[in-house]
Structure 1
């Protein structure tokens, strides 16, 4: 890279991270809103646990299909920015439309359309971020983009803002306001995001020729061991996440009989943990390796839904949730960082879309449906045990991954060279 290119590339990297942080953060703000508004919607809709699971599941279904389609389309066209702008505008529009619905069928349609728009955001955002990131900050950047952003805006801001809006103006208003940040963020993407980062352009110039990215058939991507393992991990982890985040607010209000304010405060603790582990887990994995980080932090995540069931003190539960809600930092590893370090760049958006799509389809869609029916039959604690089981399966699957962290691979290569010389 030319000496003069590095500062510009670094500034763009930081600016892109901020914009994509806001974009994906508001995706989760909108996605989480329904769980926090469900207690306020009972008078109009009287949602059962099964219906709440269906609403969460249909969003995951359309999210999955859109993610797989958008990722493949992006790699074929070599374009990401226009797809990202369109997705941000549409998910904001469909989220606000939820406030207009007067029946379950209309709400189901709005959530399905919202998921179809949101599914394109993560593959586009992460592929743009990988292209602009320094190797030493790759895991951290991808974690901040995917984990910390969703935690701050979806886990901390959403329960406070959404509950306050519902208490003050009604639940419909809480949906209506979601269109405003989407329009602003789409404008920022249009003005400041580049299709190819300065770092990528500088690397091509240093090589003396434009980098060629031959098309990679999807069947070749699906033969890669890490991609297959990540595809198996994704539905298990999505079951943990979607089931936990969908049914915890109702569990706290219906089973523990806590007030909406207490529920909101405890759910905010999930957001704090989401922000903390969202960047800490990938950053730690840059140093100790993706595989051991995924195994260790997922083992902690198994304890999170169990704490919801067994801990009766709101203060103690909040503290334990901060310590054990580590899974969202792991999401970045299996859904973005490990695939990015495994597949060719020409197939990156496709790989991200497929892994995310399989996870949302099998875990995000089927997981809450099963958990909802199980909760209607045996009580809401059944959903928490299903979530814990999903994380436990991830621990077992993670042992089959091959390490991809560049720093760890260099240390291993150095150690092998030293042994050979000795």
Structure 2
């Protein structure tokens, strides 16, 4: 029987296939988030046409699940630190599947907005919990890579889901079909998580619920490792969740700067991915073609995540993210500067997506390393929760600017500045990688 702390074993030894599978499922869950968040973007032209709403109102509808994500990331992220990563993910899947289905039967824009807000609760909690799972399932050598790959699932979900959504829009002419597909595919993930994703050893060692030793040993044996004779000594006594813990000496500066960096970057990122279809439709192209431009933005996003994840094996993640943010600001600005063909719009959207999503993927790696296990999901949820206010503000601000008559070229410059501010904030973080324990 083994008496070594299993967290140290996981950190130093090569990753077992069971760990890889858990990370793959978390990546697929993030892909699901990607489709669920952007489903409203694919449906937006049809919604605006059917219900006759203007750009300012549409900007609010586009932001509702982002507001929900902020609330869900904070409260459900904190819940993941109390009851576990796995049960939180399952609860979030139920919320997301229900919300997507209800959106497909919404009778008007007010009810649709409420259902999108509800869906966002699950998406936000999911992101906080999966970020913690990936960080805690990876060994030390592959941790940055694993978290960045998980974040890369987001644009992959938007690509695959976007292609299916475009086909559904073409085949049915109904924007509701986008949400119907989302509800079905979300529900199918519930048995997959039950089968393949155990609770993390780091959480079980910290909280020590009833049967913790048996649960840890089942996971250890499945990973081909010796079971524990007994639980190792506690590193720290579990405490009640406290908001003030994130602002304690030594961690407050990191928390605040990460919030600012994420908030500012999300304003730019969600302006790009939320408004692309409507901008392209307003240029005279059909909704299906507009969805195709958004798919190309996410092709760039997926590529950016992969490239950044590979580069983290050789270069520090923080300078990579700062560079991606600066380039992303340039790409978003260029998108609004007079391109009028589908080919040119797709290329520029792809470039903008490459850098903005690379920066997002790297940010998740930084966040995951910045908090101890006792605060990891909650800390991730706090940064994402408050930062999602920036995500919500991006589409709303752009909608108000468009409604006031501000030309696209100026809107793109203004919105591109968000990720530039994020890069500056991240450069000020006195970052120190924490142990995943």
Aligned residues: 401
1:136 Cα deviation (Å)? 1.5
CA 1:206 to 1:275, structure 2 compared with 1: closer, same or farther past 3 Å?
A: farther
1:291 to 2:318 alignment: yes
2:32 aligns with one of 26, 47, 50? 26
Per-residue CA deviation, residues 72-104 of structure 1 (Å, 9 max, x unaligned), is 222233x12111111012202211211111211
* Residues 104-113 or 214-223, more deviating: 214-223
CA 1:203 to 1:109, structure 2 compared with 1: closer, same or farther past 3 Å?
A: farther
Per-residue CA deviation, residues 309-362 of structure 1 (Å, 9 max, x unaligned), is 12334323333333332122222333x32232222111101110000001112x
1:260 Cα deviation (Å)? 3.1
1:273 Cα deviation (Å)? 1.0
1:405 Cα deviation (Å)? 5.8
2:335 aligned partner: 308
1:218 to 2:243 alignment: yes
2:58 aligns with one of 52, 56, 72? 52
1:387 Cα deviation (Å)? 2.1
Contact 1:68-1:356 at 8 Å conserved across structures:
yes
Contact 1:25-1:153 at 8 Å conserved across structures:
yes
Q: Under a length normalisation based on structure 1, what TM-score does the superposition of the two structures give? A: 0.87
1:182 Cα deviation (Å)? 1.3
Distance across 1 between alignment mates of 2:336 and 2:229: 57
Write 1 or 2 for the structure with the bigger share of helix: 1
1:238 aligned partner: 266
CA 1:140 to 1:380, structure 2 compared with 1: closer, same or farther past 3 Å?
A: farther
2:209 aligned partner: none
CA 1:261 to 1:366, structure 2 compared with 1: closer, same or farther past 3 Å?
A: closer
> SS in structure 1 opposite 2:199?
coil
> SS in structure 1 opposite 2:162?
helix
Distance across 2 between alignment mates of 1:8 and 1:189: 23
* Residues 256-265 or 371-380, more deviating: 256-265
CA 1:13 to 1:212, structure 2 compared with 1: closer, same or farther past 3 Å?
A: same
1:190 to 2:194 alignment: yes
1:16 Cα deviation (Å)? 0.7
Distance across 2 between alignment mates of 1:391 and 1:178: 29
1:187 Cα deviation (Å)? 0.7
1:402 Cα deviation (Å)? 2.5
1:35 aligns with one of 19, 34, 41? 41
- Show structure 1 runs of 5+ residues with no match: 407-422
1:165 to 2:171 alignment: no
Contact 1:61-1:365 at 8 Å conserved across structures:
yes
Contact 1:270-1:322 at 8 Å conserved across structures:
yes
Distance across 1 between alignment mates of 2:142 and 2:361: 13
Per-residue CA deviation, residues 360-395 of structure 1 (Å, 9 max, x unaligned), is 12x022232222111100246154233201012112
1:108 aligns with one of 100, 110, 113? 113
Per-residue CA deviation, residues 224-253 of structure 1 (Å, 9 max, x unaligned), is 122221111111011011111111211112
1:277 to 2:304 alignment: yes
CA 1:263 to 1:212, structure 2 compared with 1: closer, same or farther past 3 Å?
A: same
Contact 2:136-2:200 at 8 Å conserved across structures:
yes
2:357 aligns with one of 317, 328, 331? 328
Distance across 2 between alignment mates of 1:8 and 1:394: 35
1:7 Cα deviation (Å)? 8.4
**Superposition RMSD in Å:** 2.8
1:36 Cα deviation (Å)? 1.3
- Show structure 2 runs of 5+ residues with no match: 202-218
* Residues 202-211 or 165-174, more deviating: 202-211
> SS in structure 2 opposite 1:345?
coil
1:135 aligned partner: 140
